[in-house]
Amino acid sequence: MYPGAYDPARPAVVTADGGRTLTYGRLEERSLRLADHLRTAGLRVGDHLALLSDNDPRVLEVYWAAVRSGLHLTVVNHHLTTDEAAYIVRDCGASALVVSGPLTELGERIRQLVPGQASYLGFDDGSYERALAAASPEPPAHQPRGADMLYSSGTTGRPKGIAPTLPEGDVREVMTMYQLLFQPMYGFGEDTVYLCPAPLYHAAPLRFSHVVTATGGTIVLMNTFDPQGALEAIERHRVTHSQWVPTMFVRMLKLPREVREAYDVSSLKVAIHAAAPCPVEVKWRMITWWGSVLYEYYAATEANGITFIGPEEWLRKPGSVGRGGLLGELRICGEDGKVLPVGETGTVYFEREELPFRYHNDDTRTREAQHPEHPNWTTTGDIGHVDEDGYLFLTDRRAFTIISGGVNIYPQEIEDCLTLHPKVTDVAVVGVPDAEMGEAVKAVVQPAPGVAPGHELERELLDFVRDRIAHYKSPRSVDFTDALPRTPTGKLAKSQLRKVYWD
């Protein structure tokens, strides 16, 4: 479905503070006007539109204008440096760039670095509104379906544009893969109130927001995640559906108990989480708090495959991210490319009938993501194993595996151990150069407020880990920091951290 299929007075997007509302009628009219403006400006099916915005409700206007015009929409991470953001605008070949008010200065710097490539529309300088006012709200006879073309977070190198094949058919008739998967899985519909606490330039928040507005629900949009603010939004708007990353769970769990218990979260039916493996203890505590509403999936921006697991399944298989089959068959392969038996750890591949994506302007990286013998098997670099029932357990990313004395050590296990230590706010584990072992395991910790870093805390944390996991996997040392490099959705930018030690 599409916005025009629903009651025009129905709220499509509201801000968490209740200050702004975008109705379905306005979303339909304004996205049609923007689509008309883009056609008049010369954009055609397959062209690229770039968007640089905070979590402004008008992001959904731009999204629907793109997908009802056969365009690729690239939403740019506004936390990137000017050079990094300009690289994405240049690399995707954007014919138009839309910029929100708080990011006007960054948008101007990008225009200087990418001169003449993209026409410019500003949310708050009047140009966006003038363009809409001069355009037609009449729906054209044919509205070819477009798609997002997002860039990887760049945590392991230069961001990669993930180019999908544009779906055939009219936006009013053809459902996207995400709607076909997630609508029946999680029960999205006109009674859905969906809390979006994460930035819309990331794949999951943007794509779930699409599913919600394609099925007639209401998005409750937070501009930035705040643990107490999220609980306030759930209670205030009677949120039924939400989407999270494990770091958000950790931060909510670290609120004082009396703060957590002050908010009514009983309206929640489905709390979806993904993006990173969730520590088992964290998920246990969330289920104890919120009940059996936690649903997990494992996927990537590349959309090459997916696994699902519900709360009852997870209680039987704690630590698993679910089973595949709905989108791609799971394959666990060794270094030689051979499929490994049950229980053995290797690279996670998904088998599809055809190659599901390519990296924009980068055939080399596309080939690196493909299996050496089966080009329609692809991986994003995660490693894990499946059990006898076909449930996938992730270990870590291949790029972050520590090889110490010839033995593979997976940082995620150690990070999960330290995450809920009461004196730890944040933690990352990396391999650092070691003359004897090749690499040594180091933990980098952001202490909790009021906790003094130093030798005494280091000793306490090392003993804490060694009481819980094998000594050969335990960190040999701990460094302390004021803050770890994370993306706004909580992913560790671990390549930045490793670079400090390897340089």
List the 424-434 sheet strands across, edge first.
424-434, 438-447, 477-480
Task: Please give the single-letter amino acid code of residue 427.
Answer: V
Last residue of a domain, one of 220, 244, 264: 220
Q: Identify whether 239 is part of a domain.
A: no
Last residue of a domain, one of 204, 220, 236: 220
Q: Identify whether 188 is part of a domain.
A: yes
**Is the separation of the CB atoms in 306 and 328 below 8 Å?**
yes
Q: Identify whether 378 is part of a domain.
A: no
CA distances from 410 to 74, 123, 220, 413 (A): 33, 45, 37, 6
Q: How confident is the model at residue 365 (pLDDT cuts 50, 70, 90)?
A: confident
Q: How confident is the model at residue 156 (pLDDT cuts 50, 70, 90)?
A: very low
- How many percent of the chain have pLDDT more than 90? 71
**Is the separation of the CB atoms in 207 and 196 below 8 Å?**
no
Q: Identify whether 162 is part of a domain.
A: yes
Q: Identify whether 244 is part of a domain.
A: no
Q: Give the domain CATH number at 199.
A: 3.40.50.12780
Task: Please give the single-letter amino acid code of residue 215.
Answer: T
Q: How confident is the model at residue 490 (pLDDT cuts 50, 70, 90)?
A: low
Q: Give the domain CATH number at 477.
A: 3.30.300.30
pLDDT per residue over 76-119, tens digit each? 988 888 888 999 999 999 999 999 989 999 999 999 999 887 88
Last residue of a domain, one of 167, 197, 220: 220
Mean pLDDT over the full length of the chain: 91
Q: Identify whether 179 is part of a domain.
A: yes
Q: Identify whether 255 is part of a domain.
A: no
Compute the distance between CA of residue 97 and CA of residue 120 in angstroms, rounded to an integer: 5
Q: Which domain holds residue 491?
A: 401-502
The tokens for 115 are: 């001169």
| pTM for the model | 0.83
Compute the distance between CA of residue 368 and CA of residue 366 in angstroms, rounded to an integer: 5
Q: Based on the structure, what is the number of domains in the chain?
A: 2
